[in-house]
Structure 1
Amino acid sequence: MHDTTPLSLLRIDRYLAEWIEPAVVRARHRLAVESWEVPDEPVPFAHARGAQYAPFAVGTPWGLPWGTVWFHVTGAVPADWPQDGTRVELAVDLGWMAQQPGFQAEGAAWSPDGVLVKGISPRNAWVPLPQEGGAAVDLYIEAAANPDVPQDAWTKPTPMGDRATAPKDPQYTLRAIDVVLIDETVAELVADARALRGLVDVLPAGSTRRAQVVAVLEELCDVVDPEDVAGTAARGREVVAAALAAPAPAGAHTVHAVGHAHIDSAWLWPVRETVRKVSRTVANVLALMDADPDVTFAMSSAQQYAWLEEHYPELFERLRARVAEGRIVPVGGMWVESDTNMVGSEALVRQFLEGKGYFERAFGVEPTSVWLPDSFGYTGAFPQVARLAGCPDFLTQKLSWNDTNRIPHHTFWWEGIDGTRVFTHFPPVDTYNSDLSARELVHAEVEFREKAHATHSLAPFGYGDGGGGPTREMVAQGHRSASLEGSPRVVIDSPDDFFAAAKAEYGELAPSWVGELYLEYHRGTYTSQSRTKRGNRRSEHLLREAELWAATAAVRAGADYPYEELQRLWRVVLLNQFHDILPGSSIAWVHREAERSYEEVAEALVGPAGLVPAALRALGVAPGAVANAAPFERDGVAPLAIAAPSPATPAELTRDGDDWVLTNAGVTVRLDARGLVVSAVVGRPDGSRREAIPAGHVGNLLQFHQDIPNTWEAWDIDRHYRRLVTDLDVADVLEPAAAPDGGPALRIVRTFSGSSVEQLLWLAGGDDPTLHVRTHVDWHERQKLLKLAFPVDVHSHEATSEIQFGHVTRPTHANTSWDAARFETVAHRWVHVGEPGFGVAVANDASYGHDITRAPDADGRSVSVVRVTLLRAPLFPDPVADQGEHTFHNAVTFGAGVADAIRSGYGLNLPLRTVAGGAGGTDAGGTGEVAPLVTVSSPAVVVEAVKLAQDRSGDVVVRLYESHGARAAVRVGLGFAHTGVVLTDLLERPLGEAAEGEDGVELELRPFQVVTLRVRRS
């Protein structure tokens, strides 16, 4: 018999699209429209309500890119509209594009008394209205003319990312603002039919269930009269009822559907627009909850709640009521959904300290699950930080994007570098923007790796990225799939309930994944938008300094501690660590704002009236003294202390034929006429000398690559970039110069393509075997990549890279597909390659991207090649990304161990600060010395933060960690009067009394363990 199913489906699809769905709207009534165009940035409702409005005709263009137009809509519900089986709504079409909501025009409907009633976007463009015939309609529509960014243009330059370059023409045309009469029976029939039609696409072609569902849908077409859909819709629902009532089997996979809207705190829109996106989305959710008591909504990012509290207080109070009911669920516990690769150690802590602190204050709740569906890979330090912040559960989605290998689990224990584990789930639905369609639900069941032992997965549903959230159509699909043969079971649920069910079923059996969760994609985010990354790095370290000296001033001199200002500045930095800001993957507008905010942070911390000078003045430090905020002694100044420096014997620069030679007591570095390092001979403890540059290779080699990713320009570096490389080995200028410390240096100038580089190379005084390389680049490239290479005569199978609170080792070979996929990796302040007894560390002051590989020397033996990625030049989403001037400082320490690398990294990023003024020393007899508040007896234990407690009690909080990856016994000395010491979690809550002896607190630390001490002052 001939298979007629394809013909049947054509008939069904046509009936739905051409007759049944259009019949949902029984009648339509046009309203009167007036408009007012905001001349500049968005304004509050109270301002807009008082503006002068003019008549506006439907069909008229509106909205300059990034502009706002307010429409005042008035009229009445027709008095003769029937009320039985119907509802009245406002339907708006601002000129929607076909693409996903959140990437084009959006609107918000306001009542005349200032209530944000609902957001308006494509596929969710209804607003509730009074149901009585003759009822007045009076609404204001705040219409945002955000430029449309079609997904097929996401590799192309666009002027839309900056108001200065965007066109000055209206972008949209108002198509409709009407009162509509909705036939509720037809609307329910559409939901029924769509649920069954979706099943047809996922059921096996020869299955009985599929044949039955197709037959039922054909019968639906038979009984629903195209000329009288409203009159026959009830009969149509009767026809499909039995098919919808066929239950899922008892052992069916269960999808915990959690309403969600992943809202990027900035991306293809500026932060100011995100504030409005959050308000529109929350208004949508509240309207949906009013209509359906089963809807729940998980919302992360304390920053986004704080925006609502500040800018939309009435909406925030309605949200707060739903939080109290447990229907809106704060998740994540972080200030924003941050990047985790590049965020510094203490900043990662502060994401939780500020985030959880906000949730406790605002709602009296504490999220216990980390919610990072879209960050670009996850540091191996994260499990410990999450656990210590009170988050034993972790959810992400992004690893499903891997371009080479698949993580072999969806539900598992993730173990960090210190051995801490968190219960982790990757939703197998493979999206954080699910619509709960049959196709997505079945995909979740089919892909779920643990299906032999577990039956629970989570699906975040709702429009995201640009916001919008769940829709009533999605919820309708979820309800119909609660128990439906051919589909996984669906329960509309909360994240906490999912994690409880998953752990109860599978927690003891779940497998483990050890170490970082490396995303095999978006490797360019370690480098794109260099100024943003530099601003983040500098701000993190300046905040460390400010807290240290402010705490010291409070304890030593009774100065007021600047709690509010430090919190404000931290929150600025934490916001800019969002996973599309710090990674460099936003429009130009976003990065320009981020860079300006970093300048303001620096001014507030170290400007003439900044917190650091104020603390030093309060301490009475004499001019010329040196403040050492690093955790290691430098120039004779103790760690975390202030004293007069002890200058070392300066280095020398000499000429030897065409070569230049830099020398100090620790190393001799030879550069040839090209300005390339051809030799670095290190003195060793036994008196021998060791060459660090392998035969046939040169260091300080700048390499220039073509860099055209396959898709996401700012995000990706694809491995084919290595095929096209130019060595920049011609020096235009090579001459002596002065180093920043006043010693000798070598100045090198190179020009290439449309850009130029000026380098300064020098050695510090004394016996420090560290070559400093300062590289100033005037960058005017497109789709290019610049790296700084240092081949070193070290035979090693792996490289060590700093991450938060420790380091990781990664193979330098490509034996497996997992190894090969890590061709670009992230590191914080340093990387290290070594063999027993000898290694080389390369530190940086603002870079994150590296590649560390192996190459043959002149004799064919493998040596190590360390390359730091300095700059990229992607075209999307910012077509002028990183154009202009940049300066990088690298420090190459020859003969270094990991401990030396740690010292170099801290030293480079926390330079000694010479005190510019004061009233004379108040400590140690007025010599300008200030003793440290905290000392540690073990060189392996690093003090990461010294501050006063978040609760303003005046207690001193000290955070430290074991840095070498080994167990360490340490005595923590406290140089001030105190009455007790407690161990705390990262939120500064007590975990137990610390063991305090006569000489300080005695601790036994595990490898990479983080410890927080809270000291009660006398």
Structure 2
Amino acid sequence: MHDDRQLIEGRLLRTLQRIEDAVWSSPVPVDLASWEAPGEPVPVGEGLAAAYEPAHVGQRWGAPWGTTWFRVRAQVPAAHAGRPVDLRLDLGFDPDRTGFHVEGLVYRADGTPVKGLNPRNQWVRVADTAQGGEQVELFVEAASNPLLLGGGGFDFRPSPLGDPETAGREPRYRVERAELAVFEQEVWELQQDLEVLGQLAVELPVEDARRWQLLRALDRAMDRLDVADLAGTASDVRDELKDVLAQPARASAHRISAVGHAHIDSAWLWPVRETVRKVARTCSNVVALMDDHPELVYAMSSAQQFAWLKEHRPEVWAGVVERVREGRFVPVGGMWVESDTNMPGGEALARQLNHGKRWFLDELGIETREVWLPDSFGYTAALPQLVALSGSRWFLTQKISWNTTNRFPHHSFRWEGLDGTRVFTHFPPADTYGSEVSGAEVAHAARNFSDKGAATRSLLPFGWGDGGGGPTREMLARAARLRDLDGSARVEVERPDRFFEQAEAEYPDAPIWVGELYLEMHRGTYTSQARTKQGNRRSEHLLREAELWASTAAVRAGAAYPYAALDRLWKVVLLHQFHDILPGSSIGWVHREAVEAYAAVAAELEGVIAEAQAALAGAGDVEVAFSATPHERQGVAALGAGPVGQVPPVEVRADGDGHVLDNGLVTARVDHRGLLTSVVDAASGRESLAPGSAGNLLQLHPDTPVRFDAWDVDPYYRNVVRDLTDAESVEAVEGGVRVVRRFGQSTVTQLVTLPAGEARVDVDTEVDWREREQILKAGFDLDVTTDHSTSEVQFGHVHRPTHANTSWDAAKFEVCAHRWVHVGEPGFGAAVVNDSTYGHDVTRRDREGGGTTTQVRLSLLRAPQSPDPVADLGVHRLRYALVPGASIADAVREGYRVNLPVRAVRGSGEPVEPLVVVEDDGVWVEAVKLADDESGDVVVRLYEGLGRRCTARVRAGFAHKGAYAVDLLERPLETPGVADEGDAGVALALRPFQVVTLRFPRA
């Protein structure tokens, strides 16, 4: 008996190498020609009709981000008659970089797609049984995407290749093979047998007799293999393995639902336009594979990617639709894209589900039931409620397995969100969303599964992702052999909804996890690429305004509602919330285009808003103030407009070595360094800043993560800090104090003001940012003692510890918040609000004279080097503010205000009454719009925002025929606690953080 290691890693490995070389035989060259498309990709018809020039094996091709069309012509040799024949094309593929460089899509001369070409899928079937003499003509649209990954794994280094403006034009690839060859089916089958049994044997424990049974069988099989006649002896070798392959799995074996999959980032190390082609290539592969493998089930998320197929590749779309109708090509996820869930606002997450599910329903007649987010960077506690309100019931992710500090304790559980809604959730224990169905992955899934004893099954997404081509015939061969095999988990290829139904049914008492699913990695994504984040925040609030004022103008003035424009603009914003765009982890090309897209969205929405407000303001020269902020009227959520009122002026006076600002509500002192040294809330008379501290203190840290530059902020960044206390100038200006600082190669200009009539200290910051691998923070050391901070998330807030008592607490050293962070103690609190910042840290500090204080810091800017080596360099304008004496309700209100400035419009001066009024000061209106079905009905989305049970009343200020609750797709939804009481309005009995959507059919 051979030594275990020698057999598995020596003899078997060598045998498999020999077999790999023998899977194809009798190669003959083909006639190859090529045409390089100028600039961006061209339509398929243009590529097929191009003027081709002779090409050859060994030819260099492919400038970065270019497209080269190859034409293949050949005649099947008479000697190949009666055999399966493949075209083999190697365009310079690296098998270890699937989805990250060269890809191709094969077409027939009439433009019909055949299949994709990828690093692990370099063949095209020419004839199942050749006659000999057949003429072959195929075309390949090949993308020469540059490889941006370094040596091993995800090795990112600064590179000019991520932007066509700096990538150069030198060819990066070489044609390595172009031939027709006979496919040796039995040799290939033997290859699969040996791989599966060898991988299984390695994974079994030494004391398991099955391990030794497999090793002996493999040993005997290889003795029967004639390396000089592999094709001739393959069947004999397979006979030797039949018995061990036929032994059934143990009764207690873990059950795996294998689902074909190809996670394709909607942009990342490639631009959006390339994702359109990646989707087409992968879907072509899947449809072709389904022709030969009726057992294949393939799941694809993101309605946006389906929509791209329909628009840009209708010839691929036709095949997808056919397979969808068969139930084998399965839309999943219910969202427009696999979005980030930390940073999109509440309404944006609702629209991700609205637009995604609606598209699947309208185009395919399918209602998805799961939210499918395997790779997003943490999951907001608001999500379970939105999942349920969208009509879905399950949630899937894999990303939390990336935690670097704490192992998440479950793989199947019920996830409880902010409002108490629970959804059945699954983490695939194989710790991958792109499995090869290898023995190692299957064995790891069974060993790793945390819920053994109570549950028996898990899900395994398999297939090469990111344009790597998806599932392969080799993966399906492994799954077939592992369906019922002793020593292995049972692997069944099936639909994801079938898995969820069985998993949920067998585990009715699944454990509960309460609150956010915080990812203990990728904390830098709350800050990287500030312009992208600012564009998202600004777009969300402009969409709020546009829908509100367009709805009001439609109801009050009979104006046309821009249904199509708003639908289109929402989809642009939703696309850019994809989990590698909004988080700032894509190449520079992606973010440059994102900024351009946001600018176009803003310009169009400003036009919609201006047109609607003009219709509402009427003729005249009275200045009318339009506010989209809830609670501008005391005690009600009123979104309306009226004449501009007068407020007391702000006093700015010199005082010793600084300046004092006073607006009657707040008194703030700015010293000679340009720092806040005192902020007193007039209502309480209390100082907000800690003794001896400074507010609005800019701090600079080195920022050099170990692995993922744009993604991560590692905890050791805090070891070194530079306080930016030197000011070039500090001077009083009208309404405030201007401060200029220079450090390194950068300049910061800040205007510190007290808004007239508001209890807030505003800091308007312009930064000409030229630093590299630094992070810029702005801190407020507040004279508050508390063990937790409160951060706004979608439709509510979460509490997070300010201490590091446990490893779970310590891991949250950088957190995501939306428009505000609040810290408080009984009787007093303070909030820091912002207009475009998401990254924060909140810590406890020693207080002069005893006790502790709480420091709240905003992460303003980073300067990562990869994948965009010039990320964030340039001029930025950021706004944030300190709200002294703030309650949670004050924080919510001021968060809205800093993002929704009042608009002054000339008009008649007649008040514009709000469409709806909510009689409760803790219930907030998030959206007012006309219904998606273009019926003219008014839809209002609101939520309880203080975290307590309450009763409220909603009154509509227009004629309507009753009102009822609806889901996120605006369909009737039975909702306890919602009662239409006619002229008295809609009575609400709300639980903490409950979201309710009301529909008012207009009379």
TM-score, normalising length from structure 1? 0.96
In structure 2, the partner of 1:803 is 793
1:866 aligns with 2:856: yes
More displaced stretch, 255-264 vs 757-766 = 757-766
Deviations 1:733-753 (A, max 9, x none): 000123xxxxx1100000001
1:522 aligns with 2:504: no
Of 98, 103, 106, 1:101 maps to 98
Partner Cα distance (2:727, 2:850) in 1: 29
Residue 17 of structure 1 and its aligned partner are, at CA, apart by 3.4
Of 926, 937, 952, 1:970 maps to 952
Letter in 1 for 2:85: V
In structure 2, the partner of 1:852 is 842
In structure 2, the partner of 1:140 is 139
CA contact (8 A) 1:66 1:163 kept: yes
Deviations 1:520-546 (A, max 9, x none): 000000000000000000000000100
Residue 874 of structure 1 and its aligned partner are, at CA, apart by 0.3
CA contact (8 A) 2:617 2:624 kept: no
1:815 aligns with 2:815: no
1:1002 aligns with 2:956: no
For this pair of structures, how many residues does the alignment match?
994
1:706 aligns with 2:702: yes
CA contact (8 A) 1:636 1:646 kept: no
Q: How does 1:472-491 map to 2 (within 5 A)?
A: 472-491=473-492
Deviations 1:977-1005 (A, max 9, x none): 01121110111000248422423111111
SS of match in other structure, 1:957: strand
Letter in 1 for 2:614: R
In structure 2, the partner of 1:425 is 426
Of 772, 778, 790, 2:762 maps to 772
More displaced stretch, 146-155 vs 644-653 = 146-155
SS of match in other structure, 1:89: strand
CA contact (8 A) 2:659 2:732 kept: no
Change (3 A) 1:563 1:276: same
Of 942, 951, 956, 2:924 maps to 942
In structure 1, the partner of 2:642 is 643
Change (3 A) 1:316 1:669: same
In structure 2, the partner of 1:924 is none
Residue 151 of structure 1 and its aligned partner are, at CA, apart by 4.5
1:612 aligns with 2:609: yes
SS of match in other structure, 1:998: helix
SS of match in other structure, 2:699: strand
Residue 82 of structure 1 and its aligned partner are, at CA, apart by 4.1
Unaligned runs of 5+ in 1: 739-743, 922-926
1:225 aligns with 2:226: yes
1:149 aligns with 2:131: no
CA contact (8 A) 1:525 1:716 kept: yes
Letter in 2 for 1:865: Q
SS of match in other structure, 2:73: strand
Letter in 1 for 2:319: R
Of 104, 110, 113, 1:116 maps to 113
In structure 2, the partner of 1:793 is 783
Partner Cα distance (2:14, 2:224) in 1: 11
Partner Cα distance (1:75, 1:336) in 2: 42
In structure 1, the partner of 2:511 is 511
Letter in 1 for 2:91: L
1:735 aligns with 2:720: no
CA contact (8 A) 2:700 2:724 kept: yes
In structure 1, the partner of 2:287 is 286
Letter in 2 for 1:565: A
Letter in 2 for 1:172: Y
Partner Cα distance (2:844, 2:10) in 1: 62
Q: How does 1:6-21 map to 2 (within 5 A)?
A: 6-21=5-20
Deviations 1:140-182 (A, max 9, x none): 0111000012353733101110001113210000111211210
Deviations 1:833-871 (A, max 9, x none): 000110001000000000011101112311110000000
Letter in 1 for 2:16: A
Identity %, equivalent residues: 54
Q: How does 1:35-184 map to 2 (within 5 A)?
A: 35-83=34-82, 86-130=83-127, 131-132=129-130, 133-152=132-151, 154-184=155-185
Change (3 A) 1:544 1:10: closer
More displaced stretch, 12-21 vs 825-834 = 12-21
Partner Cα distance (1:695, 1:706) in 2: 28
Residue 57 of structure 1 and its aligned partner are, at CA, apart by 1.3
RMSD over aligned CA atoms reads 1.4
Partner Cα distance (1:21, 1:532) in 2: 47
In structure 2, the partner of 1:724 is 720
More displaced stretch, 25-34 vs 984-993 = 984-993
Q: How does 1:282-431 map to 2 (within 5 A)?
A: 282-431=283-432
SS of match in other structure, 1:565: helix
More displaced stretch, 899-908 vs 458-467 = 458-467
Partner Cα distance (2:632, 2:540) in 1: 21
1:837 aligns with 2:827: yes
Letter in 2 for 1:589: W
SS of match in other structure, 1:427: coil
1:758 aligns with 2:749: yes
Deviations 1:682-735 (A, max 9, x none): 223xxx521111112111100000000010000000000000110000111000
Partner Cα distance (2:408, 2:324) in 1: 34
Partner Cα distance (1:150, 1:585) in 2: 14
1:890 aligns with 2:889: no
Partner Cα distance (1:449, 1:4) in 2: 34
SS of match in other structure, 2:988: strand
Unaligned runs of 5+ in 2: none
CA contact (8 A) 1:154 1:876 kept: no
Residue 126 of structure 1 and its aligned partner are, at CA, apart by 1.4
Letter in 2 for 1:421: R
CA contact (8 A) 2:780 2:855 kept: yes
Letter in 2 for 1:969: T
CA contact (8 A) 1:833 1:864 kept: yes
Letter in 2 for 1:25: W
Residue 20 of structure 1 and its aligned partner are, at CA, apart by 2.0
Q: How does 1:896-915 map to 2 (within 5 A)?
A: 896-915=886-905
Partner Cα distance (1:628, 1:611) in 2: 15
Letter in 1 for 2:775: L
Partner Cα distance (2:958, 2:638) in 1: 16
Partner Cα distance (1:555, 1:34) in 2: 63
CA contact (8 A) 1:299 1:329 kept: yes
TM-score, normalising length from structure 2? 0.98
In structure 2, the partner of 1:960 is 942
Letter in 2 for 1:752: F
In structure 2, the partner of 1:741 is none
CA contact (8 A) 1:412 1:423 kept: yes
SS of match in other structure, 1:822: coil
Residue 391 of structure 1 and its aligned partner are, at CA, apart by 1.2
Partner Cα distance (1:635, 1:647) in 2: 17
Partner Cα distance (1:814, 1:284) in 2: 49
Q: How does 1:648-687 map to 2 (within 5 A)?
A: 648-684=647-683
Deviations 1:749-786 (A, max 9, x none): 000011110000011223x3210011111000110000
Partner Cα distance (1:49, 1:869) in 2: 51
Residue 638 of structure 1 and its aligned partner are, at CA, apart by 8.1
CA contact (8 A) 2:822 2:829 kept: yes
Partner Cα distance (2:569, 2:468) in 1: 27
Partner Cα distance (1:694, 1:910) in 2: 30
Residue 639 of structure 1 and its aligned partner are, at CA, apart by 3.0
CA contact (8 A) 2:635 2:919 kept: no
In structure 2, the partner of 1:543 is 543
Partner Cα distance (1:208, 1:900) in 2: 68
CA contact (8 A) 2:528 2:861 kept: yes
